[in-house]
Structure formats: C-alpha cells, structure tokens
Structure 1
Amino acid sequence: MKTLLRIVLGFIAAIIFVIVMMVFFGISNEPDVKLDWVMNQADIERAKKILHEGYKTRADEIGTIELSYADLNLAANYLLNRFTKGRALISLKENKLKFEVTAALPENRLGKYLNITFRLGNEDGNQLPTLTKFKAGKLLLPSKAAAFVIQTIIKHSKLNEYFLLATDPIKAVAIDDDKITITYHPSQATLDTARDFLAHNTTQYDHAKVYKSKLAEIIRQHDPDWRLSLAELLQPLFALAYQRASLDTAIEENRAIINTVNDYVNHSKSVATPIKPFYSAFIYKRNDLAQHFIGAAAITTSVNSEIAQVLGEEKELHDARDGSGFSFIDLAADKAGTRFGELAIASPRSARKLQEAMAGIKDYTDFMPDPRTLPEHMDEAEFNKRYGSTQSEAYQMMSKRIDELIAAMPIYKQ
C-alpha cells in the first residue's frame, strides 16, 4: 500500500514539476512571436468560414477539409484571440506541423507573455497527429509529459468545449507540403452542439438570462413616443450587476450585459428569441452611433480591442467607397465602445469599478464624448485628398484627438 501511495504521489509531483517548468521558463517580458499582425475583416470572415466548414456534412457522413497553411494560421489566430491577445505561427518542418505561440498575460510579477513552441506529427502509422516536441521558452520538455499536462489544463478550462468539438469527429489528419487534409465523421449530437456553439460566437453564461429578462422589462416599459437612449439600456443592467456581482464574476457579468444589449441594438440574427418590440437606440440623436458603440464593445469583450479597432476603420473605408462616406463621428463611437469593452474585462477590479460608475450615470454623455464636430460624409476621393490613408500623419492626428476626447471622460480614468 505504501509503495502504491509513493507511486501516486511521485506521479502527482512529476506533473506539478512539469507545470512549474512550463510556467517558469515559458513566461517572459519579451514575445517570441511579434504581435505585429492584426486580423482584418476579410481574415475574420475567412476564419469563421473555415470553422463553420463542418456544417456542410450531415450526421454520420464522412467529410474532408483541405486547409492551406495560410488558412490554418487564420483559424488558429482567430481562436487564440478569442481568449487573449496573441499570435500563432504554424509552419511545416520535418513533415510535422510546427506551432510557435505567444500569448499576452494578465498583469503579474513573472512576465508579460507566455511563449511556447510545439510540433504535431503522424508517428508509428497513426492517422491522428500527436505531440512530438514541446518547448516552454527555451526549455525542451518531454513530449508525453507535456501532452498529459496540456490535456489536463484544457479539460479543466474554457478551452475544453472548443477542444471536444474540434477533436471528437476527427478521424485522420494528413500533413502534406502545401496543405493538411482533415477527415471527420461527426455524430448528430456533435453537429447540434457545434451549430449552437458557433452560431452565437460568444461565450454564454447562465446569468445572461437575468440581464435579458431585465432588458425585456425595460423595453416593455419604454414609451414609444420617446427616443430610446442607449444609456436607458446600459444603466439599469450595470446597476443590477453592481448589486449581484462579485470580483469573481464581475468580468463574466459585464460581458453578458454587453452581449445582451448588442444583440438587441444591432438586431443579432443568432438570438433564437429576440426581445420585442424593437426600438432603435440612440446616442446624440443618432442610432448609428449607438450601434457602433455597443458593437465595438461586444467585439472587444468577445475577441480583443485590436480587432475591434481594425473592423471600425475597415467599415468607414468601405463607406467611403460605397456607402455614406468615411465618418470620424462613427469612428469615435467605435473607439469609445472599444475603450468601454476594455475596461469591462481588463481585470476583476476594473470590471467592478465600471459597474459602479455605470450604475450612477445620468445619460450617454457620461460614457460617450460629443463627436458631432468631427468630419464625416467623405467619399473616397475626399478622404484621400484630406487624409491619404489611415497611416498618414493627418489621420493619426485626428485619431489622437478622438482618443484624447475619450480619455478626458471621468468614466475612462481608471
């Protein structure tokens, strides 16, 4: 009995040792992979298409997906940035998939980034790839020990749902010089779960029902003869969150509020039972500003602020070509919403401070600066004449001016 106990304790100690080594050597103040690439709207749409590819296969049918290494990188970076700001580089080396991953970490004493490198390959005739090499920073760890630890971490984290949906139907992965070919055989249960999970594209929490119920109550009581302010939706929900949330749940509750309000304001098609009746929400007598603000906040809390910023600029450049024209007013709403989303999930303390502040607001001027003097309605020719591009000095000066307007607001001074 004592011998068995020693074996169990020794095994646990070995696993703890591997985890400690992964953390100690993997964390650094310098990223191994530069975080200098941000997915644009086309990248995001392509990544979503890749992840939704399995929808075309019926239950209990065998399907295949061929992915170039560019597609594989898009999908991996899209998933990675749903959890943290980071970058993944996937390449072929010695007939194996090589992953170089850097992920930004919350503020801590050890370092700013987690750097890991690993390889996956088909060995011993196996149709499914296994971990063949693993490095935490510069430290090379036994692949089998690292694989066990990684699987344990995934199993007990929010990554588990993604992991199960991605791996359960997969029967074979063939690694070639220019692509990988995935053969999968999904069950009906797996397809149903995947469709529901990917369609919403945001993490759902049980307490989101509380905020949806509160929002429905607000809408029922709204006088249709009066314009609906975005503040009328956000203030009572954050007041409720400030009453019921704790430091442990503050971030999740803020994310639930922002997603709930965004689903309503931007008419999300992924909501099975939308709140009715529908009234457009307004900021400064404009419903597009409310849509921009809460949409950017939702993207920030679901993915990250960099992607929210890129999508805002891409939308305005598109409008300059084929729409109502480039608008720095709309961009200001995007930037303010992005900043709002950042504070909503930056840390438990930041999340609670935002709840307290939003519970006490009077109107939308408490979270959105007045942008109405900024230029807008510029077609492509006018935008190019005045600003050239989003990288020009003139554009950057205007962008900085908007940032200063937002930073001057008390609610954003944390």
Structure 2
Amino acid sequence: MSAPARLRAALRLTLKTCAWAALALVVASVVALALAVQGSPRWPGPAEVSAVDVARARSFLQRNDPRRPAPGPLRTMVATEREANLMLDQLVRRLAPGTPGASAQLLLSGGSARLQASLPVPRSPVTAWLNISATLHETPGLPTLDDLQLGRLPLPAWLAKWLLPRLVERLHATPEGALALDMVRRVRLMPARLEVVYEWGDHGLQRVLGTLLPPSEQARLTAYAQALAGALQAHASAGGGAGLPLERLLPPLFTLASQRSVGGDALAENRAALLTLALQATGRRLSDLVPAIQAAPQPQRVTVTLAGRDDFAQHFLISAVVALEGGGPLADAIGVYKEVADLRSGSGFSFNDIAADRAGTRLGLLARRDPRALQDRLARGARESDFMPDVADLPEFLGRREFLATYGGVDAPAYRRMLADIERRLDALPLLRAP
C-alpha cells in the first residue's frame, strides 16, 4: 500500500474512532442524565407546619436572638432536628415557590448528617426532578460533602469533594450566601441537634438588614412608603377620622405596583406593597427596617381597619405577607397559634380571626401565583366584601372550657366543620375563589 493510501486509511480510522468516541460520550451522557433526573420527587417533605411548630419557632428565635448580650464576638445557634428542617423547608419553598413535592430534610447523627432533597429541574419542558442524597461530615469548620447521589446515579467521592468548593463559590456569589459564609465559623452535627457557631460583631444587625434589603429593595420600599404617606395625607385633608378602611389603601398602592411592574418584577412589587400595609396596620414604621427612608415623608399614625376592626386588618395583612413569602401552610399555622395563645391568655378563641387569616392567606398566594392579575384588580378598586366575608355570626372570645366543650379542640371534627364553613364563605368571593 502506497504512503498516500496508508495516510487515507489512517485518517478514516481516526475519524471512525472519533465518531464512535463521540457517540459513546453522547450515550453515556444520556444514560447519566436518565439516571440523575427522575419524573417525580423521591423524598417526602416534612410534616405540615402546625401551631406547635409556630410556638417552637418563636421559642427558637427567642433563644437564639443575636442581639442579646453575650461574652465575646462568637455566638452559638442551637436547633433541634425539627427546627432545622422547618427552616430548610422554608428555604426550599423560596427556591421552588408553588411546586408541590419540593422538599429537603436533614437526618442528624453524631458527627454527620444525611441530606435528602427533591427539587424540580428549572425551566424543564417536561416534569423532571433532581432527587439528591448526600452525607455531610463535621469538621473544625464547615461540613464536608461525601457520598453524593443524584437520582439513581451515585457519584464517586472524589467528584463530590471536587463539587463542594464549586458549590461554595456559587453560594458566595449571592449576598445571603456571602454573609452566611463570612459569619459562620463552625457547624456541629449531633444526634437530633444542630449547632452553628457564628461571629455577630458590632454591626451584625446592620449587615443582615443590608443583605436582606439591598439598595434596590430599600428604594422599592421607600416608594411604597411615600405612596402610603400620600394616601394617608389625603385622608386627613378630607377630614377622615382615626380609622381608615383597608379598601381605601389598596388601590393607590397597587396602582403603583402595576406601574412599577412594567418591565420589572411584579412579585417583588406585590411583596413591598403588602409589607408596607402590614407594618402600618401593626403600628410599625418602615424606617425601622430601612434607615434610608427616614429622610422621606413618614406615614401618619392612622389605624387601618377591615370590617370596621383593626385586629381583622392585622390578621389579614400579616397572613398575606407570610403566605406570599412562605406559603399557605405557614400562614395558617401562625393564625391558629395566635388563637390558641389567646385561648390560654384569657382573650379567647375567635373563629372570625381565623377567617381574616385565611382571607389574607388566599390574597398572599394570589399575589404570588398571578401577581399582575391581582395588581390590575386591586388598582381598579375593591370593596371589603370582595376579599373579606361576613363573619359577624362566627363565634369569638371563646374561653378554654367553652371551646373544648363545643368544638373538642383544634383538629376535632366540630372544629374542622367550622373551618370548612369559613372556606365556603371565602369560595363565594370572586377575588379569593380557590383555583
């Protein structure tokens, strides 16, 4: 065979080898993808948030308040496995809003923890899930990642160790992640117990607020505070009294939300509008969260009412904000916790407060699910009867004995029948009708 012929034969062999190698790589990639990505979530989410969990969360925040005096710059946050998983669940709800089945949980043991998570594949044209299982090992600093599995595809230990620094880099690229990595010094993993040692420092609160409320968010909240101040000033100039119905405040704030959402983030605008109203209803100033707003016109001290009551407005707006941020179950649990606490403290259990909570929860979920539609509807004006049912006939101020004797306690059949009646009343309202 001549030299040119041998050269052509070698070239053909090389091309065939490259083609087979490319095909093998494609097949291997398809197989790996098929093993890693699955059609449904594998790991169950945590149990539904209950009133007991809300009480536990409140106790957790009180125990771990970093503003309390402590010797030295280092603080230790202590969480039970349930508390840690409640926080993890809320994080997942923010990462995958409105996605049933998205979940994550930690199974703690001495010196290690098992992380199990089911997350939807973003922007996938078909239903696709990443079911992640990994082992975290305690170190003198942050835990290391080992024994990583995606769906049915186990990854070798060296690859898991190679991925961890890359994940940290991605986390460091976000303001929240950078703050956490900068403050956290060590994570201790114990049976049913998690400890996070972090450095708070003299300006810890300012750093946290600055991270959670970046300049763009502060500017957004300032705009709504100014709109609220204008609405309250107009109310005072017209000779209005000390109370102002919520239905009068929704149109100006959601008109602003609709205008600012053109080419922007409608969900963020709804969040800012509802948070501004909730702070006003509870007597708090937005300037407590946003120091930059102190130079702007401040809203007057005017009581926001719903159905003629300020407590209904507070229940409604707080539940709306919580539902928009953390999902409906958390908002519902907070409402029940409030009533159970009132039952124990003497003011009594009120089903009409529960109705206001549920109405606000539905509005908050709608603000997330279809933000522009809600803006358009509220900007045109809405009567109270559009988003709050008549609850004058519902029992309220029930003492402990009367509540237990009549309804059997939370989750008893009689109690559930009352909740079903409230849901029927909400379903009758066009604005809040369940999808």
Structure 2: runs of 5 or more not aligned: 1-24, 289-293
Cα distance in 1 for partners of 2:300, 2:209 equals 27
Unaligned runs of 5+ residues in structure 1 are 1-13
The answer to whether the Cα contact below 8 Å between 2:49 and 2:329 also exists between their aligned partners in 1 is yes
* 2:233 corresponds to 1:220: yes
Amino acid of the structure 2 residue aligned with 1:211:
Y
1:171 deviates by 3.0
Does the 8 A contact of 1:326 with 1:377 survive in 2? yes
Q: Equivalences for 1:278-293 in 2 at 5 Å?
A: 278-293=301-316
- Alpha-carbon distance between aligned partners in 1 of 2:220 and 2:305, rounded to the nearest angstrom: 26
Secondary structure of the structure 2 residue equivalent to 1:206: helix
Aligned positions of 1:93-242 closer than 5 A: 95-103=111-119, 110-111=126-127, 114-122=130-138, 127-141=141-155, 142-148=159-165, 150-151=167-168, 153-155=170-172, 160-177=174-191, 179-186=193-200, 188=202, 192-194=206-208, 204=217, 206-223=219-236, 225-226=240-241, 227-242=243-258
Counterpart CA distance in 1 for 2:107 and 2:354 is 36
Preserved CA contact (<8 Å) 1:55 1:191: no
TM-superposed CA distance for 1:238, in Å, is 0.8
- What value does the CA root-mean-square deviation take over the aligned residues? 3.5
Distance in 1 separating the partners of 2:257 and 2:74: 46
Structure 1, residues 285-337: CA drift from partner, whole Å, max 9, x if none? 11111111111101112222101001111212222232332211111110000
Partner of residue 344 from structure 1, selected from 367, 374, 379: 367
Task: Work out whether residues 134 and 146 of structure 1, in 8 Å CA contact, stay in contact via their aligned partners in 2.
Answer: no
2:335 matched residue in structure 1: 312
Which residue number corresponds to residue 375 of structure 1? 395
**Amino acid in structure 2 at the alignment position of 1:285:** G
Q: Percent identity?
A: 27
Distance 1:288 1:162, change over 3 A: same
TM-score (norm 1): 0.80
Q: 1:184 to 1:324 in 2, by over 3 A?
A: closer
Map of 2:380 onto structure 1? 360
Q: Is the 8 A contact 2:60 2:79 kept in 1?
A: no
- Cα deviation, 1:230-271, whole Å, max 9, x if unaligned, reads 011111111222233137511111111001110111123674
Indicate if the aligned counterparts of 2:226 and 2:298 stay in contact, CA closer than 8 A: no
Q: Distance in 1 between matches of 2:322 and 2:402?
A: 29
CA shift, 1:189, in A, is: 5.3
1: CA distance, partners of 2:206 / 2:37: 37
Deviations 1:112-131 (A, max 9, x none): 865322222246xx643222
Structure 1 residue identity aligned to 2:259: Q
Residues 85-139 of structure 1 show CA distances to partners (whole Å, capped at 9, x for unaligned) of 754332235842221234578997543865322222246xx64322223233333
- Whether the 8 Å CA contact 2:352–2:391 is kept in 1: the answer is yes
Find the aligned partners of 2:394 and 2:309 in 1 and give their Cα distance: 14
Amino acid at match of 2:85: N
TM-score (norm 2): 0.76
User: Does structure 2 conserve the Cα–Cα contact (< 8 Å) formed by 1:119 and 1:133?
Assistant: yes
Map of 1:7 onto structure 2: none
Contact 1:299 1:308 in 2 (8 A): yes
Larger gyration radius, structure 1 or structure 2: 2
Q: How far is the alpha carbon of 1:147 from its aligned partner?
A: 2.6
User: CA shift at 1:148, angstroms?
Assistant: 5.0
Could you list the per-position Cα deviations for residues 195-217 of structure 1 after superposition, in whole angstroms to 9, with x for gaps in the alignment? Answer: 6557x8xx945322211110011
- SS of equivalent residue, structure 2 residue 394: coil
Q: 1:4-153 maps to which residues of 2 (within 5 A)?
A: 25-26=36-37, 28-38=39-49, 40-49=53-62, 52-53=65-66, 56=69, 61-83=73-95, 84=97, 87-92=103-108, 95-103=111-119, 110-111=126-127, 114-122=130-138, 127-141=141-155, 142-148=159-165, 150-151=167-168, 153=170
Q: 1:168 to 1:408 in 2, by over 3 A?
A: same
Shift of the 167–281 alpha-carbon distance from structure 1 to 2, 3 Å rule, reads same
Report the residue type matching 1:115 in the other structure.
N
3-state SS in 2 of match to 1:222: helix
CA shift for structure 1 position 56? 4.5
> How far apart are the structure 1 equivalents of 2:254 and 2:54?
30
CA distance in 2, matches of 1:23, 1:45: 43
On the 8 A contact 1:48/1:75 being kept in 2, the answer is: no
Cα pair distance change 1:67/1:366, threshold 3 Å: closer
